[in-house]
Amino acid sequence: MSRPRGSPTALSRLDSAYGTRPFRLGSVVTGGEATRAELRSCLGAGQLLRVRPGVAATRSALERLAADPRQYHLSQLRAVLLALGRAGWASLESAALVHELPRRLGAAPPRAVHVDVPGLPDAVLPPTETPNDLPAFLPVHLHGTGLATDDRDRIDDIATTSLARTAVELTRSRPLHIALVPADAALRRLALADVPHGADRRAYLSRNPQSITHARAQLSAVTARMRGWPGVVGARAAVAAAEASAESPLESCSRGRVIAWELPRPEVGAAIVGEDGRTYYGDLVWRGLRVIGEADGWSKYEMGGDPMERLRAEKRREDALRRAGWIIVRWTADELRDDPAAVMARIAHALSEARRRLAA
């Protein structure tokens, strides 16, 4: 039997109507984008792929998305929400992708699609088979948890748990150095929600501490609604320790390690003055001991302009701070991940050295 040839005309109409997004097969027929015969032909020819029961996407769309793990995951999430037949909201790691909220330092793409469907029992749906040349369609975790109106949001066409709810859920039952990554990022985003475009964000947070207080209250309200849930005690601790001044997952993870090792708590993103009279900012600052901890991610050298000039500027900055009497200790994401004890030992040594200087 010969293989169906498909329908280029129908595919063109579907691309025009849906772009890279999945769609309900029944809605396509009702909307007049394709007939049932055209859909059968396209499915048989492999031009359309069933991504969930009753839901399909064009193969070309999935091929375009395959190079971007976030967009590929969102495509699967959209398909699940379409196939549910009832209201559902992206949650946990899937909601974090919707909100572009960091989940942990160096997080790999999620291994499952997560959806809250209030009223349904928790369940895991198996992955859908895909052609060998496309990434696998992930299993789906359905969560039947309650979802208050304040915990719901919509980003573009995707129903999702709110930013605050998503962050709090990601802090539950996780060590502090992991929990602070989404907690810091969400606190910062919520505190800066009303910042004027182009404004100095550090200055805004400094001049508007009430914005941080309000943002923390939003996160705390979520933990209050989760009273009695597993892991909520840790979530409350993460919310209490969160800092809106933290600007990267590496900074957040580093501070979480510092707290867990019971080292003195530092200021975050604090202003410091160098020997040249200029004001600089340190990732972690122990002001009384004149120690600066610098969590070095390469992104700070790649944010536009000449990377070598940024390196030279960083060298001038460090020289000015050292001449002003500051001790600087540095570490990278790889070091923190592979040997956190060694990084904490370096910080502890720098703090001890600073105490000896002050006692001399």
* pLDDT reading at 243 higher than 50: yes
Sign of the alpha-carbon dihedral angle for 70, 72, 78, 83: negative
Minimal CA–CA distance to 20: which of 115, 156, 125?
156
Contact at 8 Å (CB) between 105 and 84? no
In the chain, pLDDT over 90 holds for what percent of residues?
77
Kindly state the average pLDDT of the residues 7-15: 89
Confidence category of residue 1, pLDDT binned at 50, 70, 90: very low
Residue 162 is predicted with a pLDDT of 98
Integer CA distances (angstroms), 99 to 123, 128, 151, 241, 244, in order = 24, 25, 13, 22, 17
CA distance 336 to 105: 10
Please give the Cα distance from 155 to 2 (Å, whole number): 44
Nearest to 138 by CA among 227, 58, 69, 190: 69
**pLDDT attached to residue 305:** 59
Asked if 227 contacts 206 with a C-beta cutoff of 8 angstroms, the reply is no
In this predicted structure, the answer to whether residue 344 has a pLDDT above a threshold of 90 is: yes
C-alpha distances out from residue 86 to 146, 159, 309, Å = 15, 12, 55
Say how far apart CA 254 and CA 292 lie, in whole Å.
13
Q: What is the pLDDT of residue 223?
A: 97
pTM above 0.85, yes or no: yes
344-356: b or e for each residue (b if 16 or more CB lie within 10 Å)?
Answer: beebeebbeebee
Written as one letter, the residue type at 322 is R
Q: How confident is the model at residue 320 (pLDDT cuts 50, 70, 90)?
A: very high
- Looking up tokens 């969590």 gives 295
Lowest mean pLDDT across 2-11, 52-61, 91-100, 337-346: 2-11
Residue 6 has pLDDT above 80, yes or no: no
pLDDT in tens, 214-231: 999 999 999 999 999 999
For 124, the token pair is 């895991």
Q: Compute the mean pLDDT over every residue in the chain, rounded to the nearest whole number.
A: 91
Query: Which pLDDT score is estimated for 28?
Result: 92
Q: What is the mean pLDDT of residues 283-296?
A: 95
In the prediction, which pLDDT does 3 show? 53
Question: What backbone phi and psi angles, to 5 degrees, belong to 219?
Answer: -70, -40
- Angle separating helix axes 176-191 and 249-260, nearest 10 degrees: 130
**Is there a contact between 187 and 216 (Cβ–Cβ < 8 Å)?**
yes
pLDDT computed for residue 302 by the predictor: 46
Q: Which residues pair with 140 in a beta bridge?
A: 113, 125
- 284: tokens are 């972690």
Q: What mean pLDDT do residues 166-180 have?
A: 96
How confident is the model over 187-214, as pLDDT tens digits? Answer: 999 999 988 888 899 999 999 999 999 9
Mean pLDDT of 288-297: 91
**pLDDT 10s digits, 70-112:** 999 999 999 999 999 899 999 999 999 999 999 998 888 899 9
In the chain, where does DSSP find H-type helix?
Answer: 8-18, 25-31, 36-44, 59-65, 69-84, 92-99, 163-171, 176-191, 201-207, 209-225, 232-241, 249-260, 307-323, 333-338, 340-359
**Beta bridge partners of residue 89, listed in sequence order:** 116
Instruction: State the helix-helix crossing angle for 232-241 and 163-171, rounded to 10 degrees.
Output: 110
Q: Which residues contact 191 (CB under 8 A, 6 or more apart)?
A: 205, 208, 211, 212, 214, 215, 244
What is the C-alpha to C-alpha distance for residues 211 and 192, in angstroms, rounded to an integer?
Answer: 7
- Listed range (85-99, 304-318, 331-345) with the worst mean pLDDT: 304-318
Q: Which of 258, 241, 248, 264 is nearest to 171 (CA)?
A: 241
Mean pLDDT of 55-62: 93
